[in-house]
Amino acid sequence: MGLENILFIVAFAAAVFLFSKNLKAIIRNINLGKDIDISDHKPERWKKMILVAIGQSKMVVKPISGLMHIIVYAGFIIINIEVLEIIIDGIFGTHRIFAEPLGGFYDFLIGTFEVLAFLVLIAITVFFARRNFMTIKRFGMKEMLGWPKTDANIILIVEVLLMGAFLSMNAADQILQARGAEHYVIAGSYPISQYLVPMFDSLSNGTLIILERATWWFHILGILAFLNYLPYSKHFHIMLAFPSVFYSNLKPRAEFDNMASVKKEVEMMFDPDADPYAAPAEPEGPVERFGAKDVTDLNWKQLMDSYSCTECGRCTEQCPANQTGKLLSPRKVMMDTRDRLEEVGKGIDKNGKDFSDGKSLLGDYISEEELWACTTCNACVDACPIELNPLSIIMDMRRSLVMEESKIPSELAGMITNIENNGAPWQFSQTDRANWINEA
């Protein structure tokens, strides 16, 4: 085993260790949420995940950007099959180890990888132009300034460099193959990188080997670095989109969940056999909060959704409150939830489970004005390409405002009082509401 193989093994092991550590921290953060059982209807959930997460069925609502996203997605998945060969070659010092056992199919695979790499380069160029040189409202909103924009551009640039290194590596490789250089077996089909050959054809074998090795190392180290960048980036949705869709809400859009504790009290009120003078049962464990004030009051699925958010802005683009100039942005709700969860996680790492910084998601990150601007129309949920549910977070924080802090806009307070007293939102008794019949 040579020095190059030892260096590769060390780099690969370090990358896997760091990613595992970051992934473990994210899983711990998600598990800070309340437990919820959503293991029902598994066949339907698998079908939905295949259609939405794997099949990208909701992406093509916007045909052009949707098609380009599918190209990048397919390129990411399929081209990285080649990474398996690189890892084996790196560990054992082989070169194109799959070439001999796969035979002619190997040529087809490499050719397919190259075509996909070229299509990915085109799509990434268009995406970069859309984000930086075109006026697309959802990419220029307040929550997308600063790091979110930089994050998106970093990924786009890195993908261009990785695809460029892959094609340059293949160009140098095929020249060395043609010259019969030692260790470079004749294998593969190169429909795209063949056009780069004239750029390198005048180089000596020694220089070409350095170029091929340099681009090989850049490609694999770039992928390992990308792997460890994912937990800090919105692109973590590459992994979490699948469980997020699998565990997404299967109920009709307009159906809201009742709080179990409140539902139980109401059922007891209507139970003729219940003793109205019976003392309430002593609560087991800590008293449950009504709604959600901070991220630990949300359930694990809501917290996982915050990490899964792609920051594409389709939810905010469809939000009627945002369209009319209100402060509400469903995308910002998801981003704020993730940022607060990260803050709480780091605090626990530093100070233990009893960490408290006096801050909360409600108030310090998301304002009451944002929450009450929501019309609960579910447009954001319907628009999300991976079935995330910002509305559930909004509703839980509203419940906290109303039931924990007795905060509610006066217009809504009047409406609720009228419903309780009159059976309708208006200030008319149920008998008076039928008086119009007598006017006929």
User: Does some domain include residue 313?
Assistant: yes
Q: For residues 172 and 225, state if they share a domain.
A: yes
Q: For residues 226 and 298, state if they share a domain.
A: no
SS3 string, 81-92, reads HHHHHHHHHHHH
Q: Which residues contact 186 (CB under 8 A, 6 or more apart)?
A: 177
What would the two tokens of residue 15 be? Answer: 């990358």
305 close to 237: Cβ distance less than 8 angstroms = no
Sign of CA dihedral 187, 9, 3, 168: positive
Per-residue pLDDT reduced to its tens digit, 218-234:
999 999 999 999 999 98
Q: For residues 235 and 153, state if they share a domain.
A: yes
% residues pLDDT > 70 (the chain): 95
Q: For residues 198 and 315, state if they share a domain.
A: no
Q: For residues 151 and 98, state if they share a domain.
A: yes
Per-residue pLDDT reduced to its tens digit, 394-423:
999 999 999 888 888 888 888 888 888 877
Q: For residues 128 and 227, state if they share a domain.
A: yes
Lowest mean pLDDT among 46-55, 210-219, 256-265: 256-265
Q: How far apart are CA 54 and CA 48, in angstroms?
A: 9
Lowest mean pLDDT among 122-131, 227-236, 358-367, 424-433: 424-433
- From 217, 246, 275, give the residue that closes a domain: 246
> Does 121 score more than 60 pLDDT?
yes
pLDDT at residue 284, rounded to an integer: 64
Q: Residue 389 sits in which domain range?
A: 288-407
Residue 23, judged by CB atoms within 10 A of its CB (0-12, 13-18, 19+), counts as middle
Q: How far apart are CA 327 and CA 170, in angstroms?
A: 51
User: Does some domain include residue 144?
Assistant: yes
Q: For residues 335 and 397, state if they share a domain.
A: yes
What would the two tokens of residue 272 be? Answer: 């003729």
As for how many domains the chain has, the answer is 2
Q: What is the CATH number of the domain that holds 372?
A: 1.10.1060
Q: For residues 88 and 196, state if they share a domain.
A: yes
User: Does some domain include residue 279?
Assistant: no
pLDDT at residue 276, rounded to an integer: 67
What are the CB-based long-range contacts (under 8 Å, 24+) for 284-290?
288/261, 289/400, 289/404, 290/259, 290/261, 290/262, 290/399, 290/400, 290/403, 290/404
User: Does some domain include residue 215?
Assistant: yes
Per-residue pLDDT reduced to its tens digit, 163-192:
999 999 999 999 999 999 988 989 989 999
> Does 14 score more than 90 pLDDT?
yes
User: Does some domain include residue 111?
Assistant: yes
